[in-house]
Amino acid sequence: MQKISVWAPSNIALIKYWGKRDEDLILPHTSSLSMTLSGLGTETSVEAADQDQFVLDEVVYDIKTSEASRVFYIVDLIRDQFSLSENLRIETKNNFPTAAGLASSASGFAALVFALNEFFSLRLSFEGMSRIARQGSGSASRSFWGGFVKWERGEKEDGSDSVGRQLFAADHWPELHMILNVLSEKKKPVSSREGMRRSVETSKLYKSEWLPKNEDRVDLAEKAIQEKDFSALGRLVEENALLMHATMEDASPSFSYLAPESRKLIERVQKMRSEGIEGYVTMDAGPQVKVLCLQENIDVFMDMLSSESLIKKTFVSQPGVGPKVMR
Ligand code: PMV
């Protein structure tokens, strides 16, 4: 079998996934909705080898490390399901900082499953690949399509209906932009798995404000995207991100992924909005702050952001396309 290389995009949730109802199968308590990012993602190659090997960003990982084990857990799911026994060398590279809260696990697991599907000629549908990638990292279930994608919560205990689905293609709303600001490249202090568990098990806010209302928020965000109503979408996006972070502070023991620089930047964007320059923030399980804005305001935001000495790197994305085979 020939070496295969693929690319898969990253995605940022506009309405977040936070909390699992099944930790082994990675089944969420609520649905989520994301924008696929143009230009940011993971390139992964798969080839036959004498023994299993894992290389991430040009570093060879011992097969027993947690990074390699997470990858080979998914490889084994596929090898078992299709009765395959080949040893593999998996080489993967992100074009943005790994594990710093810029959704590298979403594009990483999507690229892995997409590459294995090509390498073994499995002919899985995108939905079928989404179902498998979800078990590596929940957000990966949304990285198989361009544009705007919903990860359906699903109802079944075996998770077969908990998959991604495209709502709108990338060309539906090209004026929408996401500016990703890297404030810190340190590894997160609490894994998202542990963080979710704490919010689910101990936060009152999670029970009263998150669980009963997120399905409606996903529907409202879908409608706002359909109507290209930027103000309605922006308000939902920012409220949802702040609520997710509030469930962490409300948890016991309380925790936060936000750094003092993150809070400064959030306030800066909110102040600009009060002055008529419309942008909204969203943050994931890390200190990075992403700004959602329209094309017409990109230059003003970039000027503001480049004057902020706290920012290490900035990436600008629009709704991007889905995964592709490189060779
Ligand atoms: O895919 P995971 O397990 O890294 O969880 C990611 C969760 C958030 O990024 C915080 C939200 C989301 O929906 O992507």
Question: What is the CA 325 to chain-centroid distance, rounded?
Answer: 20
Q: DSSP letter at 122?
A: -
CA distance 170 to 322: 9
Residue with tokens 């997160």, as numbered in its chain: 188
**pTM metric for this prediction:** 0.96
Q: DSSP letter at 96?
A: S
pLDDT at 310: 80
Check pocket membership of 17 for ligand 1, CB cut-off 6 A. Answer: yes
Q: How far is the CA of 285 from the centre of ligand 1 (A)?
A: 7
Check pocket membership of 269 for ligand 1, CB cut-off 6 A. Answer: no
CA distance 151 to 141: 7
Which H or E run includes 307? Answer: none
Question: What is the CA 48 to chain-centroid distance, rounded?
Answer: 29
pLDDT at 132: 98
pLDDT at 151: 98
Q: How many CB atoms lie within 10 A of CB 10?
A: 33
> Closest Cα to atom 8, ligand 1: which residue?
284
Residue 32 φ then ψ, to 5°: -140, 165
Check pocket membership of 137 for ligand 1, CB cut-off 6 A. Answer: yes
Question: What are residue 178's DSSP bridge partners?
Answer: 292, 317
Q: DSSP letter at 273?
A: H
Enter the tokens of residue 186: 């340190």
Q: DSSP letter at 208?
A: I
Enter the tokens of residue 171: 């060309």
- How large is the C-alpha radius of gyration of the chain? 19
| Substitution site in 284, 288, 289, 290 for ligand 1 pocket (most atoms within 8 Å of beta carbon) | 284
CA distance 321 to 327: 18
Q: What is the pLDDT along the chain (327 residues), one digit of tens a residue?
A: 799 999 999 999 999 999 999 999 999 999 999 999 999 999 999 999 999 999 999 999 999 999 999 999 999 999 999 999 999 999 999 987 664 567 679 999 999 999 999 999 999 999 999 999 999 999 999 999 999 999 999 999 999 999 999 999 999 999 999 999 988 877 778 999 999 999 999 999 999 999 999 999 999 999 999 999 999 999 999 999 999 999 999 999 999 999 999 999 999 999 999 999 999 999 999 999 999 999 999 999 999 998 888 888 899 999 999 999 997
CA distance 257 to 12: 16
Q: How far is the CA of 83 from the centre of ligand 1 (A)?
A: 31
pLDDT at 255: 97
pLDDT at 313: 86
